[in-house]
Amino acid sequence: MTLYFFERITDDDFVGPVIAAATSEDEAWHLLAARERSDRAALEALGWQIAQDLAALPPRAAIVYPSHYRRAILS
């Protein structure tokens, strides 16, 4: 089981995190689509994205940043 952290960021709004526990990314998108009463393509067009997927808990206390934060920090 993996935790998928979804978010939607626009110029005017931020929605998230919406956390889905699922066995695959496709299943996580399906859960979000059911929650939002939409389909994956429409959600992606609105700017929904997976900010982080967490398949295991860190072995010690830690701050876990979404992957796009890491990319911004490293660039």
The three-class DSSP label of residue 68 is: helix
**Domain with 37 in it:** 2-74
**Residues 51-72 pLDDT 10s:** 888 888 888 887 777 665 545 4
**Residues 14-63 pLDDT 10s:** 888 899 999 999 999 999 999 999 999 999 999 999 988 888 888 888 77
Structural domains of the chain, count: 1
DSSP state string for 8-65: EE-SS-EEEEEEEEESSHHHHHHHHHHHHTS-HHHHHHTTEEEEEEESS--SS-----
DSSP for residue 66: -
CA distance 21 to 55: 10
